[in-house]
Amino acid sequence: KNQVEQSPQSLIILEGKNCTLQCNYTVSPFSNLRWYKQDTGRGPVSLTIMTFSENTKSNGRYTATLDADTKQSSLHITASQLSDSASYICVVSRDDYKLSFGAGTTVTVRA
Amino acid sequence: DTGVSQDPRHKITKRGQNVTFRCDPISEHNRLYWYRQTLGQGPEFLTYFQNEAQLEKSRLLSDRFSAERPKGSFSTLEIQRTEQGDSAMYLCASSLGGPTDTQYFGPGTRLTVL
């Protein structure tokens, strides 16, 4: 069973609207949680990283939250743009180099 | 562009053939990783190098797979006797290390085994 579960699997939103992606994890011990953006046919690119003590981190129109007690994270996209169409992957790191990847949420932004 | 390059970007081969992929990491990064990603899934860890030493191999890496990083710089991933199940995106990443280590991914090599 995957230790990082993301929802929804996919979503479609209209340009200019907001959306929120969810990530639940069971990875332990916990070091940090990242959100990556992966465009079709490209490698993932890091958007945010949060350690245990951080509960929110922003990168432009992307805002990630972390609740380490409930082991949940969210990624909020504000005022979506067509270029936001991509897969968003939640990645949890243990104390070593090992990363646990979620399956991703595919976001499609339509004009 | 993250600074990590991979070659080739696409490879189509027939079942049973050998293929080799190359990854050039960011020059000062001493850690290098290989992942495999299939459609609709997140990347799966294959192997990890610290400089030229291969420190871990996933159970996903069968005997047909071998990776090298001979001088601690670029790395190669070879798949022998390819099977259709090997069709996937092969991603390389590199990092400096440290508590909040960020892995920078290359664009990947898309392998199709016919």
User: Does B2 score more than 90 pLDDT?
Assistant: no
Q: Is B48 on the interface with A (CB under 8 A)?
A: yes
* B91 and chain A in contact, CB less than 8 A: yes
Rounded Cα distance, B49 and A51, in Å: 24
Helices (H) and strands (E) in chain B, counts: 0, 11
Question: In chain B, what percentage of residues exceed pLDDT 90?
Answer: 75
Round the CA-based radius of gyration of chain B to a whole number and report it: 13
DSSP label of A44:
-
Token pair for A84: 């936001």
Most B CBs within 10 Å, among A9, A37, A38, to test the B interface: A38
Number of Cβ pairs closer than 8 Å across A and B? 55
Q: Is A3 on the interface with B (CB under 8 A)?
A: no
* Cα separation values, A7 from A21, A103, A111, B20, Å: 6, 9, 23, 35
Tens-digit pLDDT profile for residues B12-54: 999 999 999 999 999 989 999 999 999 889 999 999 999 999 9
| Any A CB within 8 A of B33 CB | yes
Structure tokens at B101: 């280590």
- Using the predicted structure, report yes or no on whether residue A62 has a pLDDT greater than 80: yes
Cβ <8 Å between B105 and A101: no
Does the pLDDT of residue A8 top 70, yes or no? yes
Which helix H or strand E contains B76, and what residues bound it? Answer: strand B75-79
Residue-wise pLDDT tens digits, B58-95: 888 889 999 999 988 999 999 999 999 999 999 999 99
Q: Which two tokens stand for residue B2?
A: 């993250």
Q: Is A29 on the interface with B (CB under 8 A)?
A: no
Beta strand pairing call for A105-110 and A10-14: parallel
